[in-house]
Amino acid sequence: KHIKFAARYQLLANIFEGKAVKGLAITVPATRGKMGGTGYYTFSAKPSDLMKIAYVGHKNSKGPESIETYQRMLKTKRLKDIADYINNGGKFPTNIVINLQYDKKLPFTKKERIGELTFGELQLPSCYASAWVIDGQHRLYGYALSDHAHDSVVPILAFVNLDPTSQKKLFVDINHKQVKVP
């Protein structure tokens, strides 16, 4: 009810987490770089494509092992407000921040290098629950309630294989250390 068609992927993520699924393969143009010694990728993707591999680890969502989760529960009103904003032409210029969990090296085809950045094509993991949403869950799932989940793109900042403690710290830094406009 909250996230419409995307709920199916959250369920499949709980059942088939970490299992490769050919139909989930997505290749995107991307930039690879380092931030404070940590590697990252930036790219854009359709919200409907990201939702297939995304997972939001809500507090208390998976039982005792959810001690490593940090996200708050989705708020229905906020999702509806975001969907209305999108349907009325609104855009979000800020990145959705994710952690790609992958037990191999991510396939990245290098095209060009300029300074510290490498441009190329990134093949995202073709597994359910391989893209843990660190920041932007309401923006992402607001698209599921909108008319534009399949025909829009969103900017994404992706880290790779961050440990749960680093993900939590990043979530706290983004949500509590930045100054909000009153």
Number of residues in the chain: 182
Is 129 a residue whose pLDDT tops 80?
yes
Q: How many CB atoms lie within 10 A of CB 113?
A: 11
- Within 8 A by CB and 6+ apart from 148, the residues are 47, 86, 87
For 48-58, the pLDDT digits (tens) are 999 999 888 65
Give me the half-sphere count of Cα atoms (radius 13 Å) on the Cβ side of residue 167: 25
For the stretch 54-100, pLDDT in tens is 888 655 454 444 445 555 677 888 889 999 999 999 998 899 999 99
Residue 180 has pLDDT above 70, yes or no: no
Average pLDDT over residues 160-172: 79
The predicted pLDDT at position 169 comes to 76
- Low-confidence winner among 1-10, 74-83, 135-144, 146-155 (lowest mean pLDDT): 1-10
Going by the DSSP 8-state scheme, the letter that residue 72 receives in this structure is P
Q: Residue 75 has what pLDDT?
A: 81
23 DSSP assignment: G
Q: What are the start-end ranges of the H helices in the chain? A: 7-16, 47-53, 76-87, 137-145, 164-172
More reliable by pLDDT, 121 or 21: 121
State residue 142 phi and psi, 5-degree precision: -60, -35
Please indicate whether residue 98 or residue 36 has the higher confidence score (pLDDT).
98
Q: Which residue has the higher pLDDT, 36 or 177?
A: 36
More reliable by pLDDT, 33 or 171: 33
Alpha helices in 17-46 (DSSP H): none
In this structure, the number of other CB atoms found within 10 A of the CB of residue 132 comes to 23
Query: Count of CB atoms within 10 A of residue 91's CB?
Result: 9
* pLDDT the model gives residue 9: 75
> How far apart, in whole angstroms, are the C-alpha atoms of residue 21 and residue 7?
18
Q: In sequence order, what E strands does 46-168 have?
A: 54-55, 96-100, 108-114, 117-124, 131-135, 154-160
- Residue with the larger pLDDT of the pair 180 and 107: 107
Average pLDDT over residues 137-148: 91
The mean pLDDT of 35-58, rounded to a whole number, is 89
